[in-house]
Structure 1
Amino acid sequence: MSQFAVHPALPAQRLTGVASSPVRDLLALIDRPDVISFAGGLPAPELFDVDGMRAAFDHVLSSPGGRRHLQYAPTEGNPDLRTLVAARMTARGLPTSAADLLVTTGSQQALTLIAAALLDPGDVVAAEEPTYLAALQCFQLAGCRIVTVPSDDSGIDPAALADVLATARPKLLYLVPTFANPTGRTLPVARRAEIASLAAAHGMWVVEDDPYGELRYRGEPVAALAAQPDAGDRVLHLGSFSKIAVPGLRLGWVRTPATLRPALTVAKQAADLHTSTIDQAAAAAWLEATDMTAHVAGLRDAYRARRDAMMAAMPSTAPAGSTWTDPDGGMFTWVRLPGEVDTATMLPAALARDVAFVPGAPFYAGPPDTATMRLSFTTHTPAEITEGMGRLATVLRTPAS
């Protein structure tokens, strides 16, 4: 035996600089019933339609074609599911056919497939700042250079995007334009039109990530960016069952321009052949059997009360001089504390008081604003939110030693 130890190879270079998600790390730390967590963007489990899901799985397994639902399946996805999803998207103002859709293992996989199909190492990706941190992870893993675009209370600034297009020439723009993660902001129609026009003029792809769009608690719906006349074949629209049904199914989809469909399908084949056959069949059966208008209305009513409870508690929770978003829908509010503080240093004290939040820094691809934090209001009841905000107040309003 050699006197020199042979060490295993280190992880791939592409993992360098891709940090672990603090949200996923926190979920591992706070799995205690006494913790009130505003950290994860988790739907409320008591609102899951367990009986309906059980009946859907029983139906597809008890049907004459039950064994077929346990077999390999087409990469593009279950035809019935795609037809039902397309009909819902069309009803919401984005004309869609089943052929436009590729079913993915959660919308997060759609991001990975888009990166594999469209982006080469060194390509530039533009993103609103701050933005969804798992998207940043995805593009970093693909070896892309991320350039940030400033935003304000109405979301990404089109004028700033025009400057970025002129200087950095990004190949793709990533956006969560409706009830954004982490800020809760919604991009107005006029800005959507400007962004679609810029994308068309510069030949830039746009990824419109829309997991929260149906969770509106006030105001009128805003049509998808992909529905803008100038969007043409430049916008890829992502959707998910995780927020309106159950996240455990890990079912999402991407509405693709025809020119990209073959490349994304090949990327999907290389990733996992196809998304779970039985889960797709059960989701289709559940959609067909469920009054989705009533189901989504129930989610909105429950989450509206929770959003209202957090907003009502905010003035007595955040110290004087703080600012926060008051979202029209979705799952999050974005808080900035006064001064040059670092919310990450406050997290241990919060956890010691059995309350959790996500510090804002990981949502920045550029220099972070460390005085920020994200709070999610969907997981807990209004009474629990009021209690949790009281615990958080003792941390945020305690002067640093």
Structure 2
Amino acid sequence: MRTDFTATRALFDIPEGVIYLDGNSLGPLPRAVPARVAKAMTAEWGQMLITAWNRAGWMGLPERLGDRIGRLIGAEPGTVTLGDTLSIKVFQAVSAALAARPERRVILTDSGNFPTDLYIAQGLADLLAAGHELRIVAPEEVEAAIDESIAVTMLTEVDYRTGRKHDMKALTARAHVAGALAFWDLAHSAGALPVDLAGAGADFAAGCTYKYLNAGPGAPAFLYVAPRHAETARPALCGWLGHEAPFAFEPGYRPAPGTQRMRVGTPPVLQLAALEAALDVWEGVEMADVRAQSLMLADRFIAAVEAICPDLRLVTPRDPAQRGSQASFAHPQGYAIMQALIAEGVIGDFRAPDILRFGFTPLYLGADEVDRAAAILADILKTGRWDRPDFHARARVT
């Protein structure tokens, strides 16, 4: 193992006494981010004003940072751009895939997919009003469901609830044999495990930067377009920065070359500045090392919880090759138990209806913390400290 995780841990600002097991929902603050954002605000926006678009290089941030993310997800240079939200990028990618397969009408997904992706696909089908169908099958039934009726497979590589991991390479190959295109949502993959979009032959992919990439709440999403589609992709949502000459202000749309045509609105400069500093954490980090260490931490936690918390049921695949960087357990009182854990400094999260979810990010998490988290969880269950009215009261964000 070449990556120095003691060194990477020092790059994060995590509150004293907190065991943070929720980087799969919102990554913690890298120490370098506040100064970089302050520079963007004061030295760039404050002193350069509108000239910063050129002088500070703001307009090129989506492509420059896209290439840095591309290194973490196995993307070819120039194939990743940034901006907008993951929901918008999913809409763009799926609409482009449908446009590339006009004779087909089925979007195939699975029941473990994140609801936003399902809503977007159904809304797109309704908007097109051309007989498109969102076909939802169980995760284990996806491969068998790929046939010649499918226009695009729309899959999230790692299930947000259970952590179950799809075989990207195998399912992409199966889609291509059937004449379909493959879109992958990397929300729980990018920065968590090795991804090889080019090697897997993915057609489109998108992901967020506020989870394992630690760019902060509301950070922009990224979008990947395979080189073979870059000059022909036609997203249903086109914006002025996806135009070949945005400052010509032409009334008609001409797509920009390559993946830049997938840009929509003005780049969120302050969030991109945060992302720029957050990506510095990844210098010298090998994804294979991250994967090996995260699986070790998750295995350690699973073994401890199963030994001392018999009332919890593991819902994450036991086989490390079949899961992402999280472990999820089910309990009828999962919400209250998680609130009790958070109150005692162990931060995970809850996913309806009954899932306690824990993420394992070795950039800032070690074995001692995993052991302490399991022990605190066991004690909360043993003493029943979770059964307080305030722990049962549902907050707006769970």
In which range does the TM-score fall when normalised by the shorter chain? 0.5 to 0.7
| Structure 2 residue aligned with 1:245 | 214
What percent of counterpart residues are identical? 13
Judge conservation of contact 2:94–2:183 (CA < 8 Å) in 1: no
- Equivalent-residue separation in structure 1 for 2:84 and 2:38 (angstroms): 22
Given the alignment, which residue of 293, 313, 320 partners 2:304?
313
Given the alignment, which residue of 309, 318, 327 partners 1:333?
327
Whether 1:147 aligns to 2:135 is yes
Whether 1:198 aligns to 2:174 is yes
Given the alignment, which residue of 20, 34, 58 partners 1:54?
34
TM-score (norm 2): 0.61
Alignment of 1:376-391 (within 5 A): 376-378=358-360, 381-382=369-370, 383-391=372-380
In structure 2, stretches of 5+ residues that fail to align are 1-17, 127-131, 243-262, 343-347, 388-398
Secondary structure of residue in 2 paired with 1:55: helix
**CA 1:195/1:106 → structure 2, altered by over 3 Å: closer, same or farther?**
same
- Equivalent-residue separation in structure 1 for 2:213 and 2:230 (angstroms): 27
1:371-401 Cα deviation digits (max 9, x unpaired): x735223599532453235435778xx9xxx
- Amino acid aligned to 2:191: E
- Amino acid aligned to 1:333: A
**CA 1:284/1:265 → structure 2, altered by over 3 Å: closer, same or farther?**
farther
| Structure 2 residue aligned with 1:96 | 77
Whether 1:266 aligns to 2:258 is no
| Structure 2 residue aligned with 1:13 | none
| Structure 1 residue aligned with 2:267 | 275
**CA 1:186/1:286 → structure 2, altered by over 3 Å: closer, same or farther?**
closer
Judge conservation of contact 2:153–2:181 (CA < 8 Å) in 1: yes
- Equivalent-residue separation in structure 2 for 1:69 and 1:296 (angstroms): 38
TM-score (norm 1): 0.60
The offset of 1:80, in angstroms, is 4.1
Aligned residue pairs, count = 316
Judge conservation of contact 1:236–1:254 (CA < 8 Å) in 2: yes
| Structure 2 residue aligned with 1:11 | none
- Amino acid aligned to 2:302: M
- Amino acid aligned to 1:139: A
Alignment of 1:40-119 (within 5 A): 41-45=24-28, 48-50=29-31, 52-60=32-40, 61-63=42-44, 66-68=48-50, 78-90=59-71, 93-97=74-78, 100-115=79-94
Secondary structure of residue in 2 paired with 1:247: coil
The offset of 1:207, in angstroms, is 1.5
- Equivalent-residue separation in structure 2 for 1:78 and 1:241 (angstroms): 19
Judge conservation of contact 1:332–1:374 (CA < 8 Å) in 2: no
- Amino acid aligned to 1:170: I
The offset of 1:236, in angstroms, is 0.6
- Equivalent-residue separation in structure 2 for 1:254 and 1:388 (angstroms): 38
The offset of 1:38, in angstroms, is 7.5
- Equivalent-residue separation in structure 2 for 1:348 and 1:93 (angstroms): 37
| Structure 2 residue aligned with 1:185 | 164
The offset of 1:360, in angstroms, is 5.6
Judge conservation of contact 1:56–1:282 (CA < 8 Å) in 2: yes
| Structure 1 residue aligned with 2:191 | 214
Judge conservation of contact 2:190–2:213 (CA < 8 Å) in 1: no
Secondary structure of residue in 1 paired with 2:109: strand
Judge conservation of contact 2:156–2:186 (CA < 8 Å) in 1: yes
- Equivalent-residue separation in structure 2 for 1:322 and 1:91 (angstroms): 29
- Amino acid aligned to 1:214: G
Judge conservation of contact 1:210–1:238 (CA < 8 Å) in 2: yes
- Equivalent-residue separation in structure 2 for 1:391 and 1:359 (angstroms): 19
1:163-215 Cα deviation digits (max 9, x unpaired): xx35xx233212222x4323323334xxx444233333444232111232432
In structure 1, stretches of 5+ residues that fail to align are 1-34, 337-342, 362-371
Judge conservation of contact 1:176–1:209 (CA < 8 Å) in 2: yes
The offset of 1:322, in angstroms, is 5.7
